[in-house]
Each structure stands twice: as C-alpha cells, then as structure tokens.
Structure 1
Amino acid sequence: MRLFRSLTAAIALLSVTPLAAQEAPSPETPPRLIVVISVDQFSANLFAEYRPQFRFGFARMASGAVFPSGYQSHSATETCPGHSTILTGARPARTGIIANDWIDLNAQREDKTVYCAEDETIPGSNSDDYTVSPVHLRVPTLGEWMKAADPRSRVIAVAGKDRAAVMMAGHDPDQIWWWGGDAFVSYAGREAPATITRINASVASRIATAQPALPLPDFCRPRAVPVPVGNGTIGDGRFARQAGDSRAFRASPEFDEAVTAAAAGLATELELGQGDAPDLLIIGASATDYVGHAYGTQGSEMCLQLLSLDEQLGKLFAVLDTTGVDYAVVLTADHGGTDATERQQIQGVPGAHRITADPVAGVAASLGLPGDSIRGDSGNYWIDPSLSAADHDRLAAAAIAHFEANPDIAGVFTRDQILATPMPTSPPEDWSMIERARASYDTERSGEIVIALKPRVSPIARPGPGYASTHGSFWDYDRRVPILFWRKGMTGFEQPLSVETVDIAPSLAGLLHLPVPVEIDGRCLDLDASGASTCPAR
C-alpha cells in the first residue's frame, strides 16, 4: 500500500544486512529486539475463522509457538484493562486498570468519570478532553524491567489508541506515539522523529483524498450480505470514504497501515536492536476494534480488514528482516468481541438480543432519592458516598433486588462478596463468574456492585453509526484471544490448552534471560519445542 511504498524507498537508502544472509540465532542467545503486537478486538474466534486464509504476517506468526486459547481471563474485557495485562504480567486487580472508564464520586470536579489514561488532577481535565498519562497504571511493564536491568534498552511504542500505547509502554518510554484524531501525537515536548513527520504528512494527504471502494476478494464475497441494524445497514461495505473523513479512515484498513508503517519506520530510523542492549518495539493495531464496533465481526468489512492487516504485518516483518536484527515477536489481543445481534439472529442464534434500557434506571427515584445517587459504567455501579448510611443501604438493597429480577442479568456481586473470593488459580476457562470479577476488582476504583449480563445480550440498546456491536462481557467470546510467538529459526508448535495474556511478559523475560523484578500473576511459557527451556529454572 501507499505508506509502505514510500517507507520502502526511504529504507533503500539505509545500509543494512539482509536477514536471509545470516544464520538463525541460537535459542540460548537472547534476541536483540522484542516486537509486541496487540490487535485490538482480535478474538480467538476470528483467528480460527481466518487462519486458513492468512498468507503473510499472520501466517508467519502461526508458524511459531501458537496458543490459540489465550485468555484475557478477567471480566473487564475492554481495551484499557486488556492492554494493561499484556506487558505487566498482572491482571487488572493488580494493575488498577479496571475498565476504560470508572466513576469517582469523590472527584473534585464536575465530571465524575475518570478515563483510564488521563491525569484527572490537571486543571480543566475531563474524561473526554484530557492529558494522556500512565499515572493510573500501578505496576511496571516489561520495558521498565528491561531498562532497570540495563538503562541502554529502549522502549518505543506506536498505536492507534492512546490507552493501548500507554498501558503497554508503561511510565517512561523513549518514544510513544498514538493517533490524536488527525495525526500521531505524543506527550507534550516530545520531538517527532523523521518517520512520524513523514507518516503524518502521508496520512494527511491520504485523508484529504477520497477513497474508492476496496476490491472484494473471492473469499469475502459470500460474507458481503447486507444486514439492517438500527437506521442503517452493515455487512456489505468496502470502505469507500469521502475526502476529509478522518473517522471513516480510523475504522478502515488504512488506519492499521499507518500504524504498522510508522512502527517499521521507527525500527529502521532508530536502529532498534542494533545497540548495546535489547530494545522493545510495541505496536497497537486498533482498526479491527473500530471495524468490529461499526460493522460487527462478520461481513465484508471484517473480512477486508483482516486480510489487509495480514498483508500489512507481512510488510512490517519484511522491513524488520532487512535490518538483519535478531528479533522475536509476540502477537495477541486486548480482548475478543461478538457480532451484531441482528446478524447473530439471522445466523441461527435466536437468543441474541439487545438490552432494552439502563438496568438501574428509576431505582433511586423510586426511593425518593436523586436519580444520580447510583451510577454505572462497564458493569460497575457506584453509590453516592454523601448519602446517609440508611439511604445508602436502602438504595443498595433496592438496586441488587432490581438487578436480580432482570432477565438479562446473569450475576450480581457486591464488593464484600468479591473481595471474600480468593484470586483464582485454576485454568481460566473454569473460573466462576465471581472469580472473573475478582481478577478485575480494585478496592479503590471498582464499584460497590458488579453485574454480568447473560451471554449474547448486547449492552447497546440503540445501535447507531459506528456502534453496532461491542465487547466487555464475562464470556469467552470476549475473553479468548490468540497468543502467538515467532522468532527466526524456532521450531513451531501448537499448544491448545489455555494460557493467559499475563503469561506474555514473563515469557518474554525468559527469552531475554531477564529476572522478573516484581510480583506478578503470570508464568513463563516455554517457547522451546526441544528438551531445553526458554524459562528460568525453578
């Protein structure tokens, strides 16, 4: 595609050694560069469905160590908590990132909603207009472990979402860039490398130019079936875009092309993996999530998106190959997702439906209390701390009874019940609902009451443009994600038993011969198919 064509021309000017001319590295030798790719909303179901069609980047990853039943094991299957697990080895209960947003009724500002990657102490900040910050992430990341072991290691991140970049890069990355709406941006005062300047100019030109409908591969044709949703139709789109429409750009394969091209350019410009200490390159590919929300997980839109991303990842790896650097890659997702309920119903899932209304609407008013005395977000519900003890208890009891009587709700858990539940240690597919809630629960940020909708019940009552389907449930279609490792020369294998995304960071630390310096929830996965091990001796 166009961004990679311009990038390739720039790379041709560099003096590099082709990887093909080098021997495969010894598995006992730590790689010089770790590449971490998170594909937002790339469920295990999507990986299984499209795996036979992949020919490029995903196909390379599938030739390595394949864990098709990876789990974002917690209940808070959203972007921010999911990304917080990938490079910390810690579940949301430990990272403190319980959701994309939570409500702090003690906050000293009118907006009581707190965004996971904002610093709400900055005057004038609110959850929609904020200064990006990692302040809420309570634990260090792999990049921070690497820099503590050797300050010469560099941590570079580029992502389609600020929260993806921040939660994987941690507290003090060397370079961090995310999409700011019309360009890639960073923290105030950060000077843009030449790659970012070039990509921003190319993207601005791209957005200013109308995009014709993409050609439809033969494999995608049977999926191009229009489905009425709300006041519109999904399922047969091909990403035609009017000039200047940056929102349509974001929810298209063009977006991930910009992210992967930026990552490839930074790797070459900054000579990652060619210094005196190993480096870390973090990539957050966000378009699959925007496509999934806008059009669902089926249809021509998702088909075009995944086949395009496969090609773009292949181009990224081709660029990394030209550097001659010994690099290892892990690819996973922050959460899964499910399709629009209307298409599920057509495809033989009659129980799929949309929730009719806010589950707690009218409860406070029925007790003569202000309507905002109880507020909810992401299945968490908070009760106004200024209420008297008697009113608090009345409202809590009424809300719990209301939830339990709701036919769309599978479980209702109080703070005390969740905290009395030990952190689960069994395989994640066996966890009870309350154990899944426990893995997401933070005593300072989580709600007093947590609810779980029943499977196949969408929390979107009224779908609209860009919002046909979602994720965030307790159920495995949102929890299960692929976890794929690749390194040149490794012997590939497939392990179908469940693992967790919190296992990624300690597994990469094992490859790097790096001790894990803090207490974590994950474990090292042995990536050597022989009798040797990439994990430290126990």
Structure 2
Amino acid sequence: MRNILVLLTLSVFLNSSYGQVKNEIRQNPKLVVGIVVDQMRYDYLTRFYNKYGEGGFKRMIREGFNCKNNHFNYIPTYTGPGHASIYTGTTPKYHGIIANNWYDKYTKSMVYCAGDSLVKSIGTSTNSGQMSPHRLMSTTFGDENRLFTQMRGKTIGISIKDRGAVLPAGHAANGAYWFHGKKEGVWISSSYYMEALPKWVKDFNNSGIANTYFKDWNTLYNISSYVESGPDLNEFEGEFKGKDKPTFPYNLKKLKKKNGYYDILKFTPYGNSLTTDFAIAAIEGEALGKDYDTDVLTVSFSSTDYIGHKFGVNSKEIEDTYIRLDIDLERLFLALDKRVGKNEYVVFLTADHGAVDVPAYLKSHKIEAGYVYGKNRKEKFQKFLMDEFGDNTIVENISSNQIFLNKEKIKALGLSLEDVQNSIANEQITYNHVYKTFTANSMVTTNYSKGIEALLQNGYNQKRSGDVLLVNAPNYIYYRKTGTTHGSGFNYDTHVPLLFLGKGIKQGATFKRTEIPDIAPTISALLGISFPNAATGQPLEFVLKND
C-alpha cells in the first residue's frame, strides 16, 4: 500500500512538473522579429521624432525598452559585419565577416561576404542568387533556436540586399530572400536553402506589387515643414541619371530606364515599402508564429542605406525616407498583432552602422572634415617600398583600410615580417589624415581594453585580416564629394538605435552603454536557448521581465 502511495505521489509530481515545464515553454514568444535599418544613426530617432506617428518608432519607445547609448564595439562598421554581429552576438574577430568584400590571403583574390559559386540561383537565371552563409564562422541565435526546437522553429531572412538576408538568417535557415532588380524586379533565393521558390513567393512576384511603386516620390508632408533637414537644393547630394537637380519630386516611371529599372526602387522609400509587403507575405505564407515552437523572422530595410549614400545625412530625402519607414513599421506591427497576436511576439530594432555627415557640408560650417585621395598616397607609398625594401611587390593588396603583405616574397628577401609591418605602419602614419596605424603583430600580442585600438582588435580576424591596419582621421573618408559613407569607429558610425518591444520585454529606457553583440544573447536568454557558439556579448538583463 505504501509503495502504491509513493508511486501515485510521484506520478502526480511528474505530471504537475511536466505541465509546469510545458506551460513555461509556451510562455516564449511565438515569433521573434529582428529588424535592422541599414545606416540608421541614433539621432534619426530623436531628430525626426515629431514627424513620426504613434504606431511605429514611437510605439516601440512607448511600450518597449529604449537603449539610448548603444554602440558597435569594433571596426569596420560595414553592412556585412554589422548584420553578422547583431545575430551572432560577437564581432568579426570571431564570426569572420571582416568586411563586405575582402582580400583572401589564401586564394589571392577578393571575396564577397555572402558569395558562393557552388550554389545556384533560385528565381532568376542570373548569378544574383549565388549566395550562402558559408563564410560566417559562428552560429546565429536563429540557428540555435532551430537546434533547440529540433528544427521545428522556422527561420526566414528578408532584405533588399542579399547579405542583409543571408547573414542574419544563419546556416540552418529555412529560407533567405532578397530583391533582384534590373529588368526582373523579383524576390529570389539560393539552392543553399531550396530547389524552387515556395508558392507564396511566386505568387508575390507575379502579383505586380513592385510595379505599383513606379510613381512620383514626393515628400509625404509639405516640404516647408521639413525643418529637421537642410535645403532641398544643395551641392552635397548625388543625382539620379536623367534629372538635372537632386530635388523633389522624382518621377520614377520616367527615371527608371536610366537608373537600372527596378534597381531605382532601392534608392527610394518604396524599397522599404516593398520589403514590408514581402515580410507580411512571409508571415502569412510561412505560417510564422502559429504554433508553440518559436519562429524567427529577420527583416533588413536596405533603402535607407542607398538613400543615405546618395543624398547624405542632412537631406530632405533622408527625412522623408524615415517618416515613410515609420509608417511601414506600423503596417508590419499591425500585421503581427493580427496574425500572431499582440502579446505573442517580440521585436528588436537596430542598425548595422551609422553614417558621417557629408564632409564637404561639415567643412562649409568650419568643422574639420575632408576626403582622403588615394593617388598621391599610393605614389608616395610605392616609392617608399622601393627605397626601403627594393621591391614593391611585397604588398599584395590594399583594401578596407588594410595592407596585405606577400609573406613568401618577404621570406625570399630575407626580411622579418614583423620588421616590415612596423616599417610600413611607421611610414603610413606620416601621411595626411592617417589618424592611427597598427600591425597585425600588435593585434595578436597586445590586449587593448579601450579606444580605437580595442575596436580594431575586436574587428581583427587572424586568418582573414591584413598585416597593417589604417585609421583615417575623424570626418575624413574615401568617397565622392556628394552623399555619405561609413566604416569607422567614431560615434557617427557606431552609435545606433536599439529598441525592444513585445512579450517578455520591460517598458523603460537607459543611457547605460550597450553593445551590438549583446542583442543575440539577450534574445537567447529570453527564449531559454543556447547562446550562439562564439557569442561574446552579455544578456541585457534590465530589458527582460523576470517573470
């Protein structure tokens, strides 16, 4: 009798415990949506705040958590490394995506962060679909969620840019989709993920939605009310071919032929709208958030970057783009409320990098800024190599502010690699607008804890990075005199938004410093899954509810 009572008690306990565990698992959000706004500076949140509606950025700030002092903690601040770092919870030092394109020291050729010649394009006959995450050396939190749920939880990546879809989605994703413009205007993928596009993607491509965006791009509100940006006509902005001034309105139907047909949409807010349309279709088509296994949707809005590069930080075009993006965010959130449930999903929003004000514009206001011209520096450097070493072929490649040396040639000349690195670093620091120089040897033998040095070290990958690293002075860039770019470790490139909203997220804000690699561990902690395997960030405990 006593044994029977013990068994009954044990049975009740196990059933009770199982029910509790099952209930706790069900407390996870049904869907995690990661949003990356390409080239979004933090001050776009505050500068355009009064122009935003209540359902987009302001909803995230009002109902969610705002990390106001959020930064990238490495150099370089480019799109590929940014997206990889957000979702892996680490830096290029460990995930290996050291740039968008970099020189491969072993194949002696330039490689693209998402390029993969061993896979086939799906959805186009061009090579635009030959992409995969094979160069990403770490798992993403989407990968870890897939493993945790025995592959039942889905991961889908979406972006106008291929790298903005592929790298966030990770290795084990169900699908990654990006927009192939030119004369096709379709969403495509890669044989890495599938043999054919799903029906919902084919239906979307056949719907003609992309064609509806060939219309006039004018300011949403009266242009005179856009007091948060500079004059519409100025000398600091690029132009569309076929239009003599970079001023509103833009007749896209008229301009498309000279500007890459569907590719022109990437340079307008309608590229973001098209991305939103496709993301909403993906939620429905993939039945995301419809069961108890958490799904992951990554959405990267790329048009903000294209527009920033062309028109610059202070342009009317940028202001209108963010006002319209705010409306698209509200559309996306309302679709999530309806299809997944208002309290059943979690969203975070951040950026892959910021951007510098157009140096010519800064200089016009007496702020130290300018451009680095490569021709004079190259000629001077070539002369130095001949005078110092008697051979200028000891340098194989210069790209992404890195100098790659020919180690076989150095050895054949009987030179010390460390001495050559030091000599080149000491030479480069004498050139105009070179702010700092470091050698690969210093990156692996010295532990830097702060400053530009630490950012470079976090971005330095021993197998992939160069022999000498260069840092340009603040506000000095390799670029044309119109539009803007990014890539540095200065605040204009590192300070980006970080907003959380949804299930398991507290309401609040902080000026406490947070860093990009903290995002993936925070989402992993929220889901109760393993951190990405190379993650170095820490969960932002103050963002998460304790219950």
TM-score above 0.5: yes
What do residues 18-65 of structure 1 show as CA deviations (whole Å, max 9, x unaligned)? xxxxxxx99992111101000001111222322333213111111211
Counterpart Cα distance in 2 of 1:329 and 1:450: 36
State the match for 1:52 in structure 2. 50
Counterpart Cα distance in 1 of 2:369 and 2:217: 34
Query: Post-superposition shift, 1:216?
Result: 4.3
Query: Post-superposition shift, 1:121?
Result: 6.7
What do residues 473-511 of structure 1 show as CA deviations (whole Å, max 9, x unaligned)? 121110111110001695410111110111111111122
Contact 1:364 1:374 in 2 (8 A): no
Q: Name the SS of the counterpart of 1:87 in structure 2.
A: helix
Distance 1:361 1:384, change over 3 A: farther
State the match for 2:290 in structure 1. 274
Distance 1:468 1:354, change over 3 A: same
Q: Does 1:213 align with 2:238?
A: no
Q: Does 1:117 align with 2:114?
A: yes
Contact 1:330 1:486 in 2 (8 A): yes
Q: Name the SS of the counterpart of 1:226 in structure 2.
A: coil
Which amino acid letter does the alignment assign opposite residue 546 of structure 2? Answer: S
Counterpart Cα distance in 1 of 2:522 and 2:399: 33
Q: Does 1:405 align with 2:411?
A: no
What is the TM-score of this pair, normalised by structure 2?
A: 0.82
Query: Post-superposition shift, 1:363?
Result: 1.9
What do residues 430-472 of structure 1 show as CA deviations (whole Å, max 9, x unaligned)? x211111000010111000001101011221x34xxx621000
Counterpart Cα distance in 2 of 1:191 and 1:491: 41
Matches within 5 A, 1:176-191: 176-181=176-181, 182-188=185-191, 189-191=194-196
Q: Name the SS of the counterpart of 1:413 in structure 2.
A: strand
State the match for 1:14 in structure 2. none
1:445 to 464, 468, 492: 464
Which amino acid letter does the alignment assign opposite residue 315 of structure 2? Answer: G
Counterpart Cα distance in 2 of 1:51 and 1:371: 53
State the match for 2:397 in structure 1. 375
Which amino acid letter does the alignment assign opposite residue 490 of structure 2? Answer: W
State the match for 1:197 in structure 2. 202
State the match for 1:8 in structure 2. none
Contact 1:75 1:436 in 2 (8 A): yes
Query: Post-superposition shift, 1:169?
Result: 0.6
State the match for 1:434 in structure 2. 453
Counterpart Cα distance in 2 of 1:67 and 1:115: 32
Query: Post-superposition shift, 1:239?
Result: 4.0
Q: Name the SS of the counterpart of 1:446 in structure 2.
A: coil
Q: Name the SS of the counterpart of 2:33 in structure 1.
A: strand
Bigger proportion of residues as helix: 2
Distance 1:435 1:307, change over 3 A: same
Q: Does 1:283 align with 2:296?
A: no
Counterpart Cα distance in 1 of 2:238 and 2:167: 36
Identity, in percent, stands at: 24
State the match for 1:533 in structure 2. 546
Q: Name the SS of the counterpart of 2:322 in structure 1.
A: helix
Counterpart Cα distance in 2 of 1:524 and 1:317: 25
Matches within 5 A, 1:8-407: 29-55=27-53, 56-63=55-62, 64-107=64-107, 112-119=109-116, 131-150=130-149, 151-181=151-181, 182-188=185-191, 189-201=194-206, 202-206=208-212, 209-217=214-222, 218-220=224-226, 223-229=230-236, 236-241=247-252, 242-244=255-257, 245-325=261-341, 326-346=344-364, 348-358=365-375, 359-366=377-384, 367=386, 369-370=391-392, 373-389=395-411, 390=413, 396=421, 399-407=424-432
Contact 1:223 1:235 in 2 (8 A): no
Unmatched 5+ stretches in structure 1: 1-24, 425-430
Q: Name the SS of the counterpart of 1:331 in structure 2.
A: strand
Query: Post-superposition shift, 1:332?
Result: 0.4
Counterpart Cα distance in 2 of 1:258 and 1:184: 10
Query: Post-superposition shift, 1:409?
Result: 1.0
Contact 1:114 1:120 in 2 (8 A): no
* RMSD (Å), alpha carbons: 2.8
What do residues 69-110 of structure 1 show as CA deviations (whole Å, max 9, x unaligned)? 1111101100000111111111110101111111124316xx
Unmatched 5+ stretches in structure 2: 1-22, 121-126
What do residues 179-219 of structure 1 show as CA deviations (whole Å, max 9, x unaligned)? 22332110134433344334434244236x45353444453
Aligned pairs, number? 489
Q: Name the SS of the counterpart of 2:235 in structure 1.
A: strand
Query: Post-superposition shift, 1:254?
Result: 0.6
Which amino acid letter does the alignment assign opposite residue 71 of structure 1? Answer: H
Contact 1:234 1:295 in 2 (8 A): no
Contact 1:159 1:283 in 2 (8 A): yes
Distance 1:161 1:362, change over 3 A: same
Which amino acid letter does the alignment assign opposite residue 440 of structure 1? Answer: G
Query: Post-superposition shift, 1:237?
Result: 4.2
State the match for 1:9 in structure 2. none
Q: Of the two, which has the highest radius of gyration?
A: 2
What is the TM-score of this pair, normalised by structure 1?
A: 0.84
Contact 2:267 2:303 in 1 (8 A): yes
